[in-house]
Amino acid sequence: MAKSLPLFLSEAAERGLGLLGGGLLGLFLAAAIWAGFPSEPAPSGGIRYPSLSLPTPIYQGVAQSPFARRVFAWAWGTPWARKALGLEGQHLR
């Protein structure tokens, strides 16, 4: 594919561009996976993440994750990330 796109960059610049693109894609995928676990409205009016309806091992794994709640809070609180990760319209039940 590199031969079909004439970017006229040095080999090092192409590697750097590939590293940057791959890194961003990997971060987006990780955020999509962690934020994609279901959440539910909490009795206090907030949002409970992860949902209690998850199977116990999955619930425990997500609940004990040091970054899952931070990723979800970031995604839920950032309008463009909320839309990009498909969280729009959830939790309205």
pLDDT in tens, 50-83: 888 899 999 999 999 888 889 999 988 999 988 8
pLDDT in tens, 78-88: 999 888 888 87
**Does any domain span residue 21?**
no
Q: Which residue has the tokens 């079909």?
A: 4
Total domains in the chain come to 1
**Does any domain span residue 45?**
yes
**Does any domain span residue 26?**
no
**Does any domain span residue 11?**
no
For the entire predicted model, the pTM comes to 0.68
**Does any domain span residue 34?**
no
3-class state of residue 41 by DSSP: strand
**Does any domain span residue 2?**
no
**Does any domain span residue 93?**
yes
Dihedral (C-alpha) 93, 41, 38, 35: value to the nearest 10 degrees?
A: 120
Range of the domain at 55: 39-93
**Does any domain span residue 16?**
no
